[in-house]
Homo-oligomer: A and B are copies of this chain.
Amino acid sequence: MTDASPSLTVRRKRDRQTDDPAVLDEIMAHGAIAHVAMVRDGLPIVLPYLYGVGDLGDGRGRQLLLHGSTGGGLFLDAGEDGVPVSAAITHLDGLVYARSLNDSSANYRSAMIFGRATLVPTEQRLEALWMVGDHLMPGRRAGVREITAKELAATTVLRLPLDRVSVKVRFQGVGEAPDDGEDHGVWAGILPLSMQAGAPITGAVTDAGVPVPADVTALAGTLEARAAERRAALVERLGAAVRPTESTN
């Protein structure tokens, strides 16, 4: 069961394409939602799905794991043979303020995956569900009860191999065509962006006095530390192309 596949060669901004597997791994690790496109009645549909990443031991290596319900559209369409999809995981890492609109841009990391999404076989579904949980809520597995047979029967996981992937990254400073009319007295620079956690909200279903657990606090800390590391890495990479300011030192 193979499908023809769109070319994976980027037509524009080819310098932004990378085949470094570590970059793909990081993009996958830092995301929670994959936008998955499929064709229905000849027309495109794209929907967001929570995802995980894991090796199910089926010889396909690490795959994208999409969580769904047996009643959901994409999962019905998958049927026995699977369904051709394209999935994108994108991180907006910053806005690039140049002194012209044309040179203004965004820093981002994006993975586009092409392939046939197929149902995870029944015997691997339980482990696939835990992998999705582990990806989205690291460390939570220890705090939740076992999955019941009824829950397992009502759930579906689709797997998508990661062997046909196009990765693009912009991780740069301001790139301006020199002196084509911009005002050098106007500020130019990067506004870093990242997903961050706010203070947790405790549900009243929680017994009184139970504190926010370490895994939840740790996830918030991970997001914060990751943003600080990426900002520092960008500053280091740009070197003399950035100017120390009050807000950056």
Contacts and interface: CB of A to CB of B under 8 A. Distances in A.
A220 B191 contact: yes
User: Oligomeric state, in number of copies?
Assistant: 2
Contacts of A184: 205-207
Contacts of A148: 102, 180-181
Interface residues of A, number: 117
A43 B208 CA distance: 53
Given A102-B147, A184-B207, A212-B187, A87 B41 contact: no
A198 interface: yes
B173 A203 contact: yes
A119 interface: no
A136 B28 CA distance: 25
A47 B201 contact: no
B95 A202 contact: no
A211 interface: yes
Contacts of A110: 48
Contact of A212 (B129, B189, B213): B189
A155 to B, nearest CB: 7
